[in-house]
Chains A and B, each alone.
Chain A
Amino acid sequence: MILLALDSSTPSSVAAVLRADGRVVEARDDPPPGSRGEHAARLLALAEDAMAGAETAWDDLDRIAVGAGPGGFTGLRIGIATARALAQARGLPLVPVGSLDALAAGADAAGDEVVAAVIDARRGEVFAAAFARGEPLLEPAALAPDDLASRLAALDRPVRAVGDGAVRFRQELARAGISVPADDSSVHRIGADALCRLGAARAPAERDALLPDYRREPDAKPPQR
């Protein structure tokens, strides 16, 4: 299977091509911590870079996979709009990949170690889920860091937390005995291998039903009169 995978659920823009020979070619942009993503300017260009690096043409692709969140709303929409339009233009099946699943899959859990995938959701919250041996122990949710820490502590097992949210709220998690790898470790980023692996394994979705997993209601208060 030849697959193009995109993810823009975090400030990073990630594009990856899984070639027929199993090799994964990645093109990515990781803005410095605290800065916003440049998905609108970068994502499609990175997809074209990854395709060129993998010597893959649009006609070669069998499917398109895309990170469906949870994550930043604007980034998710750019990634999903891009993926949906590429699929529309080439008549390709489209596969959603959970961002937290992809993050956890990249952490290479050992044995029955619990991995918590934690994405910074801004406004003092995180999007988080926890897995052991690929099975969910904590369903994706938007949580306050302290709330997440106590839920993970309640599992009463060793937990390793990864993602930009784990880095940002390292202190809150550490207080609950949760280990967080060094800030510059690549496990904190959604990686090409995990995206491609999950994108190849999951079932395609209806194009128009592939929407971001927002996990949070829009801010839509009626204006004050």
Chain B
Amino acid sequence: MTILALETSCDDTCAAVVTRAGEIRSNVVSSQGVHDRFGGVVPEIASRHHLELVNAVVDDALATAGTDLGGVEAVAVTQGPGLVGALLVGVATAKALAAARRLPLVPVDHLQGHVAANFLAPEPMEPPFVCLIASGGHTLLGRVRDHHGYEVIGRTLDDAAGEAFDKGARLLGLGYPGGPALSRLAAGGDPEAFAFPTGARVAGLDFSFAGLKTALLYTVRDLGEEETARRAADLAASYEHAIVEALMARVERALAAEPSP
């Protein structure tokens, strides 16, 4: 069984060819890179670019996998959640490809897609496991018992972890999307230089990053412009450390609560 999969939920136009056995035969990701100057993903621009790219990305994925639509047995597509206009381009494309080739269409929940990525080679993971999804749009903990779904056992009460990165980066003047820049800067800093809140004392498996962002804002204000610039690497490292600590604490709690297999 060979599956062609499309994903257009945000600003990357993606297509992959995967076998039922979990082998990734191709994985084409076309990043639009046009949103940076707007300080965020602009839905209308993302939708326009998906439409420009989607068929070529599918062609590329098929060619890289050494196959064509004749070798495809099912078409999968991210159904949501995501940017509605962006999703529609991928869904309309997948539906039409499937209809015209008389192939089954498999709509996939965006987050289930993240969970299911763990089932793929070269290091497939078999349930049961606890899955942390931490992206620009989502932060949640899932308990995975089989290949068909997951139970949400923790979610963010405010920002996603990726958003916390981007917002922190903005406070440090690193532009958008600043997450990667913040991470690079953090590599040269001291993660213990500043004690940012990790919410470790908040009980349960839910996440919250609003307090952390506020703490960084006050620290930057107290330090002043010059001192902030001088200690930017330490600030970035400490901020990143706090986010990772917050994630790790919930994962450890979830694992501790899990009956051993």
Q: Which residues of A contact B (CB under 8 A)?
A: 40, 43-44, 47-48, 58, 73-74, 77-78, 80-86, 88-90, 207-208, 211-212, 214, 218-223, 225
Residues of A within 8 A of B48 (CB): 77, 211, 214, 218
Check B85 against A88 for contact (C-beta < 8 Å): no
Min CB gap B165→A, angstroms: 17
Min CB gap A3→B, angstroms: 15
Q: Which stretch, B20-28, B96-104, B122-130, B148-156, touches the partner chain A?
A: B96-104
- Is the CB of B55 closer than 8 A to any CB of chain A? yes
Given A40-B91, A74-B88, A220-B44; A86-B96 close (CB under 8 Å): yes
Additional A-B contacts beyond A74-B88, A208-B56 (13; CB < 8 A): A77-B85, A78-B92, A82-B92, A84-B55, A85-B95, A88-B97, A89-B99, A207-B55, A208-B52, A208-B55, A222-B37, A223-B40, A225-B39
Kindly state the separation between the CA atoms of A86 and B95 in the bound complex, as whole angstroms. Answer: 9
Residues of B within 8 A of A218 (CB): 42, 44-45, 48
Residues of A within 8 A of B99 (CB): 44, 47-48, 86, 89
Residues of A within 8 A of B52 (CB): 208, 211
- Is the CB of B181 closer than 8 A to any CB of chain A? no
- Is the CB of B51 closer than 8 A to any CB of chain A? yes
Residues of A within 8 A of B59 (CB): 88
- Is the CB of B164 closer than 8 A to any CB of chain A? no
Check B42 against A77 for contact (C-beta < 8 Å): no
The 28 listed contacts between A and B (C-beta, < 8 Å) are A73-B44, A74-B47, A74-B85, A77-B88, A77-B92, A81-B51, A81-B92, A82-B93, A84-B54, A84-B93, A85-B94, A85-B95, A85-B96, A86-B100, A88-B59, A88-B69, A89-B99, A89-B100, A207-B55, A211-B51, A212-B51, A214-B48, A218-B42, A218-B48, A220-B45, A222-B39, A223-B38, A225-B170
Residues of B within 8 A of A86 (CB): 96, 99-100
Kindly state the separation between the CA atoms of A207 and B49 in the bound complex, as whole angstroms. Answer: 14
**Number of interchain pairs (Cβ within 8 Å):** 96
List B61-110 residues whose CB lies under 8 Å from chain A.
Answer: 69, 85, 88-89, 91-97, 99-101
Min CB gap A69→B, angstroms: 12
Q: Which of A40, A58, A77, A88 contacts B58 (CB 8 A)?
A: A88
Residues of A within 8 A of B85 (CB): 73-74, 77
Residues of B within 8 A of A84 (CB): 54-55, 93, 96
Residues of A within 8 A of B101 (CB): 89
Q: Which 9 A-B pairs have the closest CB atoms?
A: A85-B96, A89-B100, A218-B44, A81-B92, A85-B93, A220-B42, A82-B96, A78-B92, A85-B97
Check A80 against B96 for contact (C-beta < 8 Å): no
| B42 to chain A: closest residue by CB | A220
Check A81 against B100 for contact (C-beta < 8 Å): no
Residues of B within 8 A of A77 (CB): 47-48, 51, 85, 88-89, 92
Kindly state the separation between the CA atoms of A222 and B39 in the bound complex, as whole angstroms. Answer: 6
Check B38 against A220 for contact (C-beta < 8 Å): yes
Residues of A within 8 A of B55 (CB): 84-85, 88, 207-208
Q: Which of A74, A78, A85, A223 contacts B39 (CB 8 A)?
A: A223
Given A77-B51, A81-B54, A89-B100; A44-B92 close (CB under 8 Å): yes
Min CB gap A192→B, angstroms: 19
Kindly state the separation between the CA atoms of A58 and B98 in the bound complex, as whole angstroms. Answer: 12
Kindly state the separation between the CA atoms of A223 and B88 in the bound complex, as whole angstroms. Answer: 24
Min CB gap B130→A, angstroms: 35
Residues of A within 8 A of B89 (CB): 77-78, 81
Residues of A within 8 A of B56 (CB): 208
Check A44 against B96 for contact (C-beta < 8 Å): yes
Given A222-B39, A223-B38; A90-B88 close (CB under 8 Å): no
Min CB gap A80→B, angstroms: 6
Check B51 against A89 for contact (C-beta < 8 Å): no
Kindly state the separation between the CA atoms of A159 and B89 in the bound complex, as whole angstroms. Answer: 38
Kindly state the separation between the CA atoms of A48 and B89 in the bound complex, as whole angstroms. Answer: 19
Residues of A within 8 A of B92 (CB): 40, 43-44, 77-78, 81-82, 85
Check B47 against A89 for contact (C-beta < 8 Å): no
Kindly state the separation between the CA atoms of A44 and B91 in the bound complex, as whole angstroms. Answer: 11
Kindly state the separation between the CA atoms of A53 and B25 in the bound complex, as whole angstroms. Answer: 39
